[in-house]
Structure 1
Amino acid sequence: MQLEIVKAVLSKAFGKAFALREMSSCKFLEVFNPTETPELTIQIQYKGDELLDVSASGKYGEKTYFKARAGFRSLL
């Protein structure tokens, strides 16, 4: 679910669809329950244009729910 959120944010920011190309690391640090945590701050750093190298994390308050490093490619 969290990686789908990252992909959706990338797609909205760039105005095109992306697909996960590779995942170099992904750590789920806390259980994310949308009912208990209605808000999640997604931080994304990236390099590239058609092929994106992405570092992302999801946080709310002091809790970090996930951290990921992955590659995404444009579908257009």
Structure 2
Amino acid sequence: MEILLNGENIQLPYHIALVSDLLKHYQVHDKVVIVEVNGEILTNTEHQNTRLSDRDRIEIVHFVGGG
């Protein structure tokens, strides 16, 4: 499956089916993130049951501390 992730075309491995799988794959599942799928912001609960489809547009934003 191919998606547009943060503006970049990405070919996903076959085992990634849900938004939560995608977050684990990119190792951001344990961080505070905002996920938008095709222009719609998801709640944390929706990460577990939102299926990805070919050509989805995904934006993932996570916060970085600093000073």
TM range (shorter): 0.3 to 0.5
Q: Which protein is richer in strand relative to its size?
A: 1
Report the TM-score, using the length of structure 2 for normalisation: 0.33
Larger Rg: 1
Bigger relative contact order, structure 1 or 2, given CA contacts below 8 A and separation 6+? 2
Report the TM-score, using the length of structure 1 for normalisation: 0.30
